Structure 1
Amino acid sequence: MSLNVLSFLFIGASFALYIGIAIWTRAGSTREFYIAGGGVSPMANGMATAADWMSAASFLSLAGVIAFMGRDGSVFLMGWTGGYVMLALLLAPYLRKFGKFTVPDFIGDRYYSNLARGVALLCAILISFIYVAGQMRGVGIVFSRYLQVQIEWGVVIGMVIVFCYAVLGGMKGVTYTQVAQYCVMICAFLVPALFLSLMMSGHLLPQSGLGAQLDDGRTILQTLDGMLTELGFDPYTQGQRSTWDRFMLTLVLMCGTAGLPHIIVRFFTVPSVRDARESAGWALVFIALLYTSVPGVAAFGRINLVQTLNGPDQQGVVYEEMPDWFKTWEDAGLIAWHDHNGDGRVQYAAGESFVGGRPIFTAERGERGERLLTNPGSGQFDSTRQPFATEVYIDHDILVLANPEIANLPAWVVALVAAGAVAAALSTAAGLLLVISTSVSHDLMKKTLRPDMSDRQELRYARLSAILALLLAGYAGINPPGFVAEVVALAFGLAAATVFPPILMGIFCRRMNMAGAVSGMLVGLVTTLAYVFYFKIIGGTPEQWLLGVSPEAFGAVAMVLNIMTACLVMWLTPPPPEHVQRLIDNVRVPRGVRWPVKVQTGARKK
């Protein structure tokens, strides 16, 4: 059976499963639409949370980013994993006990203000839109390759599927669909990872295969370092980012994770606070299965890629003899070859042939069959990246999808990876779209503009806003601002700079008031957007980075500015009302504690 037929079968079967689950679990009330009725079991919720969390950035882009950036790419792995631990232990139980299932709702009630609710609503929608752009791009990439359609049509197909089980099923439909999607995506990631590890290192598990010693006495990482050095690249284990910038990017990813609206709402779909803690533990287990395998997959994939492109003698391969996967991805516009030296061979080595950013691919070919390129960039080389290869451009997002074909794995493995990639992108896209629809229908309409509307009217607004959000997300997926992981990193930076500080201080600082929280969020939002706009749109250079912090990591600086502004304004303005302080004390004090808390001092009564 051909690869195309298998891909259609695997992806089609997964679509039928998702839509069937959505119809079976269709939401009939706002409680089911927003939080799945609050009756999901901890294990199922942990699996759904893992699927929601392991987006296209994790499944598609993370291994590719690490493969091409080497040590610098590890910050995504550390930041996202550490951030979930922070969320699960530091914030989730308290937010669950507070009882408000959206970030704007928590901030609006904690800071006793519709103004605070409105600013948080703006931030949550902006974060979700930026995040969902990367997911829709991931859908387009998969369909463009395996369904033989343009990326634009791939995004449209993904929109139709998401509409069926997110807009109709709500959180109830999405939760049980994501359980199925997790099973699909973890199998799709681990099966080729096990194959690659066994072929490259002789170890079944990629976790141990990465450190395995080969026949020549070197490890996988030492082999990769030597291979890249010979080709003129920096060693794989040597990063180009400064230690300070890596630290700041890791910090922003951790704190941004803890402020992601679509993850926070997951802890309200279980019956109790204890179940929320238990589901967080299950989610960590399910997430670790993929994340601990990523470094091995990245290293194995990079070695296979270099050996395939340059051939056994490392002198390059004649273009006409390149394997089918190379030309297929080239037709999709995600691989390009420019015969820089005119020898007709595809040679993968360090150079600056594609300086200035991502090339635009045209339909024409050169005399020797190479894809012609035009460069829309500013012409300034981005020193935070691994130098582009002299003759070959490879989109980072395709490595996981191309790995099975590069390694000549069976066609059913390739088709399984395609189904898993679609599941990863659609699962998170659905969760983000529900956050947007919930924010509009519940926080804007019900809590602010029309508090007297009925449950049925609120559900109608939720579905209408989800449809509008889906259309805008589709447009963003067709016109993405960068690599999937880069787009997601920007969303995390905004989350860290805007909503994370008021959530953290709202739980652990009784004195924090509305004026301080609103001022901090606005400072974080404006500074982050201004910094990113200047360096990503206008064209600032790395030499101009403030304190040596890259645009992706600037959310950490904006987060500090947010906290400093909030604290300064807090001490210059009156404290929160007494009932709000009592509410925070009640949220922080575990059940079963016998001593009451004095609101005035917070000290124990003796």
Structure 2
Amino acid sequence: MDLQFLTYSIVGLSFALYIGIAIWARASNTSEFYIAGGNVHPVANGMATAADWMSAASFISMAGLIAFNGYGASVFLMGWTGGYVLLALLIAPYMRKFGKYTVPEFIGERFYSKTARIVAVICLIFASITYVIGQMKGIGVAFSRFLETSYEMGLFIGMGIVFIYAVLGGMKGITYTQIAQYVILIFAYTMTAIFISLQLTGNPIPQLGLGSAMADGTYLLDKLDQVIVDLGFMQYTTQTMGNTLNMFMFTLSLMIGTAGLPHVIIRFFTVPTVADARATAGWALLFIAVLYTTAPAVGAMARLNLMNTIQTGEVGTEDGNLVYEERPQWFKNWEITGLLKFEDKNDDGRIQYYNDQNEEFAAKAEAEYGWKGNEMVKVDRDIIVLANPEIANLPNWVIALIVAGGLAAALSTAAGLLLAIASAISHDLLRGVFTPNMSEKSELMAGRLAMGGAIAVAGYLGLHPPGFAAGTVAIAFGLAASSIFPALMMGIFMKNINRTAAITGMIAGLTITLLYVFQHKGLFFIPGTAFLGDMEANWFLGISPNAFGSVGAIVNFAVAILVSKITAPTPDHIKRMVDDIRVPS
């Protein structure tokens, strides 16, 4: 059956399901809009949390990072999953015991300050807006290729779908929609991996296929190492992302960023009891593990298929190089999107995809092949998962399914982030600070208007994404790690941290992280602003901008503790409130 027809059919049915659920689960009051009424079963909530968490960065971009960074990309696996352990042990039960709607509300009451609540809202918006840009990039990539629309049109369609089910249903509609989205995305991801693992190794379990032998008796990872080393690239199984300190700080930033993300924390307000909050974290980790243990296999197998097809495939090759005029159809399809680009630098008609950063190899390739630089001038990492079934010549229904899964992942997280932003504006700023006497009906309307405004802003920023989805998301985690996570930890476990300390700590952590990112990444929040480049030589102790959130967190803690020692002590009634939160019943 025609690929486009199948894609439209499967994606269309999934969108109809999301909208139908939103109509069925329409929020009628603020409790349903913000926390789904507080009566979601922990298994269902765990599934919804997993979908909320496994964004376009996890579904679309993470395997691409693993494909091109090998072992070094393990920081994403360890950081993003390890953060859930922190969340389950240190934050989720205490936040549920507090029993309010939002993270800024907790910070405002714990630090007895409207200013603290406003600062927390600002931190939340910075982190969430940065995060949602990555989701918009994923939506645009999926639509632009498989629905044969422009990136911009795909983005607008995705915005429209989110607007309908998020604004209409609030957290109640989003929760049940995310359950459906989890089922779709996990089936799509694992089904593709099973097909490709069977194709390459004969093993239907991708996690085992990664360590299995291929038809010629060579182990898959050994084969991949051989293929890419022959092309001048670093050995796949020993590749790293910077020095050891950077790997450690990157992992730490992702872990504490996970534990500090408001759109994840807010999910623990939707269950009836503290025990259910702990159970939610456990179920969510289990559901997430299905994809996260599969991702290394998907990344490695995709990289092997990509290199074999472009560089060492048998069909349409000449002296080991693919002849451009005989390139496969999948290559032509992705060229149309602009996410895959070839430039024939030596006019020989062959695609020479070598590592031009390896000076020794480059000199040899120039002398022996007349090579004038890497001719694959763009291979966007975010295409790897979506292009993988096409490269492997899988059935069209599998290709269509992976598109629906990618869109489900991006839409589910985008909805959760937008709700967090909307609740911060309507509940924390309007009702919590500026208009405390507004009615529940007015607050519900304000929440929906804020959601619509947040979708518009996110779409505008998504039209000018700063880079690949997982890289943008990593910065969002750094912002949450440097500002929100320390405030929550000190609010729960350190009774002597007062309002002045919390406010100065959040401002210091967020500011130093933003300045570092701006210095090395450019003003990525402003569309059209060019990157200044990573400028690795100027990194502080070799720590990359994506990993700097952990440094910001250390600054936050240090400033808050210092300020608390030279300012007025925390009032006794606040200390009693902390004691009450610390005994989750």
Instruction: Determine if the TM-score, normalized by the shorter chain, exceeds 0.5.
Output: yes
Partner in structure 2 of residue 117 of structure 1: 117
Partner in structure 2 of residue 309 of structure 1: 310
Structure with bigger helix share is: 2
SS in 1 for 2:83: helix
Partner of residue 354 from structure 2, selected from 349, 359, 364? 349
TM-aligned CA deviation for residue 342 of structure 1: 1.4
d(CA) in 1 for partners of 2:17, 2:52: 17
d(CA) in 1 for partners of 2:214, 2:126: 48
d(CA) in 1 for partners of 2:390, 2:459: 29
Aligned pairs (5 A) from 1:190-339: 190-240=190-240, 241-310=242-311, 311-312=313-314, 315-339=320-344
Partner of residue 441 from structure 2, selected from 447, 456, 464? 456
Partner in structure 2 of residue 21 of structure 1: 21
TM-aligned CA deviation for residue 347 of structure 1: 2.4
TM-aligned CA deviation for residue 510 of structure 1: 1.0
Closer/same/farther in 2, CA of residues 389 and 60 from structure 1, 3 Å limit: farther
SS in 2 for 1:169: helix
Partner in structure 2 of residue 397 of structure 1: 382
Partner in structure 1 of residue 553 of structure 2: 559
Q: 2:569 aligned with 1:575, yes or no?
A: yes
d(CA) in 2 for partners of 1:42, 1:554: 34
SS in 2 for 1:234: coil
Partner of residue 497 from structure 1, selected from 460, 477, 482? 482
Aligned pairs (5 A) from 1:417-456: 417-456=402-441
Q: How many residue pairs were aligned?
A: 557
Partner in structure 2 of residue 589 of structure 1: 583
Letter in 2 for 1:344: G
TM-aligned CA deviation for residue 403 of structure 1: 0.4
Contact 2:344 2:351 in 1 (8 A): yes
TM-aligned CA deviation for residue 239 of structure 1: 2.4
SS in 2 for 1:317: strand
Partner in structure 1 of residue 367 of structure 2: none
d(CA) in 2 for partners of 1:558, 1:390: 39
Contact 2:200 2:215 in 1 (8 A): no
TM-score scaled to structure 1, two decimals? 0.90
TM-aligned CA deviation for residue 341 of structure 1: 2.0
TM-aligned CA deviation for residue 539 of structure 1: 4.1
Partner in structure 2 of residue 166 of structure 1: 166
Partner in structure 1 of residue 41 of structure 2: 41
Gap regions ≥5 residues in structure 1: 354-387, 592-606
Contact 1:155 1:474 in 2 (8 A): yes
d(CA) in 2 for partners of 1:309, 1:207: 25
- Cα-to-partner distance string for 1:400-422 (whole Å, 9 max, x where unaligned): 00000000000000000000011
TM-score scaled to structure 2, two decimals? 0.93
TM-aligned CA deviation for residue 590 of structure 1: 4.4
- Cα-to-partner distance string for 1:428-479 (whole Å, 9 max, x where unaligned): 0000010011000000001100110100000011011111110000011111
d(CA) in 2 for partners of 1:540, 1:350: 19
Partner of residue 501 from structure 2, selected from 513, 516, 520? 516
TM-aligned CA deviation for residue 390 of structure 1: 4.0
TM-aligned CA deviation for residue 394 of structure 1: 0.7
Contact 1:165 1:173 in 2 (8 A): yes
TM-aligned CA deviation for residue 101 of structure 1: 2.8
Letter in 2 for 1:187: F
d(CA) in 2 for partners of 1:89, 1:224: 39
- Cα-to-partner distance string for 1:84-142 (whole Å, 9 max, x where unaligned): 22112221011111112311111001100001001000000111111001101111111
**RMSD of equivalent CA atoms:** 1.3
Deviates more, 1:516-525 or 1:305-314: 305-314
d(CA) in 2 for partners of 1:389, 1:224: 19
Gap regions ≥5 residues in structure 2: 359-372, 523-531
SS in 1 for 2:341: strand
SS in 2 for 1:125: helix
- Cα-to-partner distance string for 1:147-201 (whole Å, 9 max, x where unaligned): 1110001000001100110011100000000000000000110001001111111
SS in 2 for 1:168: helix
Closer/same/farther in 2, CA of residues 90 and 389 from structure 1, 3 Å limit: farther
Contact 1:42 1:279 in 2 (8 A): yes
Closer/same/farther in 2, CA of residues 128 and 413 from structure 1, 3 Å limit: same
Q: Tell me the percent identity.
A: 56
d(CA) in 1 for partners of 2:109, 2:239: 44
Partner of residue 492 from structure 2, selected from 496, 501, 507? 507
Partner in structure 2 of residue 77 of structure 1: 77
TM-aligned CA deviation for residue 540 of structure 1: 5.8
Contact 1:347 1:392 in 2 (8 A): no
d(CA) in 2 for partners of 1:341, 1:40: 62
d(CA) in 1 for partners of 2:405, 2:123: 30
Partner in structure 2 of residue 359 of structure 1: none
Contact 1:516 1:569 in 2 (8 A): yes
Q: 2:479 aligned with 1:478, yes or no?
A: no
d(CA) in 2 for partners of 1:67, 1:391: 16
TM-aligned CA deviation for residue 567 of structure 1: 0.5
Deviates more, 1:206-215 or 1:85-94: 206-215
d(CA) in 2 for partners of 1:247, 1:87: 19
Closer/same/farther in 2, CA of residues 482 and 345 from structure 1, 3 Å limit: same
